[in-house]
């Protein structure tokens, strides 16, 4: 019996340092390109995955989902394929699981929430190279947390969006945004129903200005309400950014 084409979700994690982001593009090595190549070789058929989002060059993911349609592959065969697919992938990319979903399930459009972390460290640490941003200088973390909480009062985040994107709306519902201190640094966590291109790095860059006391809460509100990217702070480096969670109604 020949099995029909079925849709599978692939959960993976990756160190984005060596890659030009997630999405396949000409003349550049991307995570999607490496994943599709490994899946195609292992399952002996052309495979084109579709990701839950598009992380930029140098950005990491500890939890990322993609979906792919596989012909003639049973659920058990897909579940047991993880080791074989990983053997075909570079060490910086790891598939965690492959599981069957409904034919209409969509890795991008069915996600109801996403969470990112941005990692800072304050003292030189060779083990954090390309995985955290070395920041030198004093920061008022309490003021930054007060400012971060203000983000939950807004919907339109045009001021933190990369210019000239093709999104239909710049509205996002942020549900949490806060900094927590670590032994040698700081982690910023932010969750929302969706994010704009470059949004998290632009928000962090602006909150840094609060921490340096270069702007205050009133100016932050003015920046958001201006809907003008040039009024916000510079984007922080990609190396500290991690996609850490994606929530779907049908995925445990």
Cα–Cα separations (whole angstroms), residue 92 to 56, 69, 115, 121: 16, 24, 21, 22
- Please state, in angstroms and rounded to a whole number, the distance separating the CA atoms of residues 41 and 24: 17
Distance CA 245, CA 64 (A): 7
Residue from 56, 125, 140, 156 carrying the catalytic annotation: 56
Task: List CB contacts of 63: < 8 A, sequence separation 6 or more.
Answer: 11, 13, 243, 244, 245, 246
140 is known as an active-site residue: no
Q: Known binder of ligand: residue 14? A: no
Q: Which residue has the tokens 């394929």?
A: 81
The DSSP result for 25-53, as a single string, is -TTS--HHHHHHHHHHHHHTS----EESS
- The catalytic residues are 56
**Residues that constitute the known binding site:** 116
**Residues that constitute the known binding site for substrate:** 116
């Amino acid at each position: 019996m020949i099995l029909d084409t079925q849709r599978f979700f692939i959960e993976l994690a990756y160190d984005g340092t060596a890659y030009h982001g997630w999405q396949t593009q000409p003349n550049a090595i991307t995570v999607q390109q490496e994943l599709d190549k490994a899946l195609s070789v292992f399952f002996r058929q052309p495979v084109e995955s579709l990701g839950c989002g598009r992380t930029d060059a140098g950005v990491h993911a500890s939890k990322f989902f993609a979906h792919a349609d596989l012909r003639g592959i049973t659920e058990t065969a897909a579940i047991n394929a993880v080791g074989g697919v990983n053997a075909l992938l570079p060490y910086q990319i790891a598939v965690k699981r492959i599981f069957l979903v409904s034919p209409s399930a969509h890795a991008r459009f069915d996600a109801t929430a996403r969470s990112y972390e941005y990692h800072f460290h304050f003292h030189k640490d060779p083990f954090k190279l390309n995985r955290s941003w070395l920041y030198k200088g004093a920061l008022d973390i309490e003021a930054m947390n007060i400012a971060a909480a203000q983000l939950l009062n807004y919907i339109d985040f045009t001021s933190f969006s990369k210019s000239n994107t093709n999104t239909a709306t710049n509205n996002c519902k942020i549900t949490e945004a806060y900094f927590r201190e670590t032994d040698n640094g700081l982690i910023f966590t932010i969750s929302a129903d969706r994010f704009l291109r470059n949004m998290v790095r632009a928000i962090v860059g602006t909150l840094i200005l609060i921490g340096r006391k270069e702007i205050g809460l009133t100016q932050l509100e003015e920046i958001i309400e201006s809907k003008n990217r040039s009024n916000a702070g510079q984007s922080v480096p990609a190396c500290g950014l991690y996609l850490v969670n994606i929530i779907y109604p049908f995925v445990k």
